[in-house]
C-alpha cells in the first residue's frame, strides 16, 4: 500500500526563531511516526535553515514555487536547480494563490512541473475550483482541465507527480469540503489519471483546504485521498502532529 503524504504549506509565514521551534518539535515527534511521509513547504529564504534542522530526520523539505526558467535574467525567481542544491524533495506548483495573484496559467504550471522533474524534485500539482465555478456546476471541468495540462509531460510519467485537490473556497476559510465532496472529485481525478497511465493507483492525491486535527481522519479515510496539503494547521506543531497521527 502506498504511504500517505502529509505536506505542510507555511505560505508567507515564519521567522528564524519560530521555524526553529516548530521544526525541532516536528522532528522529535516524527521519530515515532513512520507510517506516512511528511514534508514542509517553507519560504525560499528559510530552505537552508530548515534543511539543517531536518538533517538526518524523516522530515522532507519542500518549496512553495519554482521558476519556469532554467537560469538567467529572471530577477526574483528561484530555479529548480537551486532548490535541488538545498535538498528539496517536493515543490508546490500551481497553488491557487499563485494562479490567482500571479496569473499562473495551466501552461505555466506544466512548465514548472517539468522543470522540477528534470531536477529530480517531485512536483505537487495543485488543482481546484473557485466557489463561483462550483456553484456554476463546473467543478469537474475545471479540475480536469488543470490536470490535463500536466498529464503528459515530456519524458516523464504522470506517476512521478503528486496531485493536490484544493477547492479554492475551502482554503484558509475554515470551510472544509465534506469527505464525500472531496472523495467525489478525487475519484474524477483518479479516473482521469487511470485513462492516461496504468500507474494511476499509485499516484498520491492529496486533499487541501482547511484540513485540521478535527477533520483529518475522516478525510484521510476516503478511498482516493492519499494525504493532505495543510496550510494554517501546519504552523502549530501540535495541530500538524495530530494530522500526521491521523494519517498513520
Ligand atoms: P489551509 O491552506 O489549510 O490554510 O486552508 C491549504 C493550502 O492552501 O495549501
Please say if the pLDDT value at position 34 is more than 90.
no
- Cα 155 to ligand 1 centre (Å): 31
Q: Which residue range forms the structural domain that includes residue 11?
A: 4-246
Count of structural domains, the chain: 1
Q: What are phi and psi of 139, to 5 degrees?
A: -50, -55
Identify the CATH number of the domain in which residue 12 sits: 3.20.20.70
Q: What's residue 132's pLDDT? A: 95
- Residues 65, 38: Cα–Cα separation, whole Å: 18
Over residues 160-169, the mean pLDDT reads 96
- Residues 58, 49: Cα–Cα separation, whole Å: 16
Q: What is the pLDDT of residues 113-138, one digit of tens each?
A: 999 999 999 999 999 999 999 999 99
Which ranges of 179-226 does DSSP label H, i.e. alpha helix?
A: 179-196, 216-220
Q: At what angle do helices 139-151 and 179-196 cross, to 10 degrees?
A: 40
- Cα 198 to ligand 1 centre (Å): 30
Which is the catalytic residue, given 129, 133, 166, 186?
166
Which pTM was predicted?
Answer: 0.97
Q: What is the pLDDT of residues 37-89, one digit of tens each?
A: 999 999 999 999 999 999 999 999 999 999 999 999 999 999 999 999 999 99
Which ranges of 11-160 does DSSP label H, i.e. alpha helix?
A: 16-30, 47-54, 80-85, 96-101, 106-118, 131-135, 139-151
The distance from CA 220 to its chain's CA centroid, rounded to whole angstroms, is 15
Amino acid at each position: 500500500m502506498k504511504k500517505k503524504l502529509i505536506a505542510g504549506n507555511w505560505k508567507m509565514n515564519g521567522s528564524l526563531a519560530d521555524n526553529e521551534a516548530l521544526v525541532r518539535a516536528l522532528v522529535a515527534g516524527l521519530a515515532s511516526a513512520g507510517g506516512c511521509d511528511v514534508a514542509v513547504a517553507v519560504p525560499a529564504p528559510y530552505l537552508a535553515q530548515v534543511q539543517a534542522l531536518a538533517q538526518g530526520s524523516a522530515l522532507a523539505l519542500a518549496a512553495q514555487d519554482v521558476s519556469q526558467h532554467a537560469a538567467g535574467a529572471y530577477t526574483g525567481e528561484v530555479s529548480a536547480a537551486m532548490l535541488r542544491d538545498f535538498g528539496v524533495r517536493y515543490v508546490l506548483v500551481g497553488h491557487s494563490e499563485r494562479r490567482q495573484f500571479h496569473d499562473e496559467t495551466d501552461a505555466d504550471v506544466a512548465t514548472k512541473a517539468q522543470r522540477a522533474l528534470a531536477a529530480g524534485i517531485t512536483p505537487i500539482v495543485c488543482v481546484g475550483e473557485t466557489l463561483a465555478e462550483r456553484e456554476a456546476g463546473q467543478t469537474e471541468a475545471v479540475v480536469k482541465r488543470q490536470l490535463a495540462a500536466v498529464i503528459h509531460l515530456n519524458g516523464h510519467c504522470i506517476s512521478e507527480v503528486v496531485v493536490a485537490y484544493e477547492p479554492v473556497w475551502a482554503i484558509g476559510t475554515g470551510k472544509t469540503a465534506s469527505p464525500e465532496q472531496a472523495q467525489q472529485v478525487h475519484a474524477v481525478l483518479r479516473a482521469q489519471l487511470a485513462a492516461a497511465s496504468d500507474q494511476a493507483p499509485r499516484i498520491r492525491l492529496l486533499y487541501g483546504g482547511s484540513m485540521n486535527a478535527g477533520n483529518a481522519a475522516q478525510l484521510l479515510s476516503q478511498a482516493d485521498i492519499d494525504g493532505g496539503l495543510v496550510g494554517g494547521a501546519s504552523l502549530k506543531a501540535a495541530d500538524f502532529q495530530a494530522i500526521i497521527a491521523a494519517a498513520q
